[in-house]
């Protein structure tokens, strides 16, 4: 039996470790990657890693934004999109919650949203809302909301949607974030068939959130299971994470499977790794990966505050 504290710690550290392990493999096609067994936090000799100037064990924008969200939730006692927006701007401007205060990657839709925030647009209207603006930038950071939240499913869906709108305003991104949080909630409870139960939970919430109804059906269409690509499209990232979790029974296996899909490896591994950390607990994260994770001074106080809420 995995204790809830182990699942919470596994979720937070799992997303950061998955992100950090995935960073050097980003932008590579699957056939360009090392073998499954060679995918590691330290790349094999001869592999041309992405972000070559970034030290091994460093999380990217995924982890930094996730920590911005967690810090905001803990400080405000709930989702405050104005506070979250200020923290995201501080991340982009001065490296808040980034390892070494260095920001080395910002997604295109997030850049547009941040520019709108700087120009005084209110946070819930800042995220681009066209259908082509459904990158995975709000999904990659949302897991701390599920780790922190104690409210109803309807409230969790509302907050997952709200935090998305700060940078990704289309209902599709909002619906994916909402479903992902409900999926995480099932894993935190240790239930079997967590994906299916999360889908039922989301369905039960849609009368209160009708703007998500059509998108919920779209994102959960079973045919998507056969066409995952590890891309930066928010729906594909969700299904890529599902494939990694269902195909592997260990944290390391899930992260390797996520990275083996290629393309947006850091975000796929972050999204899948957070859930694997919940499912399998912090003890299943390889010690060698945890020891090489940088920025522990940023993580541990937030993790302590999160666990103190139990």
**In this predicted model, what pLDDT tens digit does every residue of 259-285 receive, in sequence order?**
999 999 999 999 999 999 999 999 999
Tell me how far CA of residue 305 lies from CA of 9, 180, 236, in angstroms. 11, 23, 33
Q: Where are the domains of the chain?
A: 4-308
pLDDT class of 94 with cuts at 50, 70, 90: very high
Mean pLDDT of the chain: 97
| Structure confidence by residue, pLDDT tens digits, 112-126 | 999 999 999 999 999
* Whether the predicted model's global pTM rises above the 0.95 cut: yes
Chain centroid, CA 127 distance in Å: 17
4-308 placed in CATH 1.10.4080.10: yes
Dihedral over alpha carbons 203, 205, 209, 210 (to 10 degrees): 40
Supply the pLDDT for residue 45: 94
Report how far Cα 26 is from the mean position of its chain's Cα atoms: 16
């Amino acid at each position: 039996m995995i204790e809830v504290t182990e699942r919470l710690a596994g979720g937070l550290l799992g997303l950061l470790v998955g992100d950090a392990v995935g960073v050097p493999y980003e932008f590579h096609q699957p056939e360009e990657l090392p073998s499954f067994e060679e995918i590691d936090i330290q790349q094999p000799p001869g592999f041309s890693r992405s972000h070559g100037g970034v030290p091994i064990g460093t999380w990217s924008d995924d982890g930094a934004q996730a920590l911005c969200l967690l810090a905001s939730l803990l400080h405000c006692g709930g989702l405050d999109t104005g506070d979250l927006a200020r923290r995201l701007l501080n991340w982009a401007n001065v490296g808040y919650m980034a390892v070494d205060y260095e920001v080395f990657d910002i997604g295109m839709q997030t850049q547009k949203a941040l520019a709108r925030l700087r120009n005084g647009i209110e946070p819930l209207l800042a995220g681009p809302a066209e259908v082509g603006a459904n990158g995975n930038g709000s999904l990659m950071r949302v897991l701390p909301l599920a780790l922190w939240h104690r409210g109803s499913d309807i409230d969790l869906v509302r907050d997952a949607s709200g935090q998305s709108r700060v940078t990704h305003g289309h209902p599709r991104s909002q619906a994916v974030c909402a479903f992902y949080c409900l999926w995480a909630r099932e894993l935190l409870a240790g239930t079997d068939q967590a994906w299916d139960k999360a889908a039922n939970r989301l369905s039960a919430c849609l009368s209160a959130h009708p703007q998500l109804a059509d998108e919920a059906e779209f994102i959960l269409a079973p045919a998507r299971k056969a066409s995952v690509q590890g891309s930066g499209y928010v729906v594909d990232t969700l299904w890529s994470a599902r494939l990694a979790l269902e195909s592997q029974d260990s944290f390391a296996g899930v992260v390797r499977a996520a990275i083996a899909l290629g393309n947006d490896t850091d975000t796929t591994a972050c999204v899948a790794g957070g859930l694997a950390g919940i499912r399998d607990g912090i003890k299943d994260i390889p010690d060698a990966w945890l020891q090489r994770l940088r920025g522990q001074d940023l993580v541990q106080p937030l993790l302590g505050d999160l666990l103190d809420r139990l």
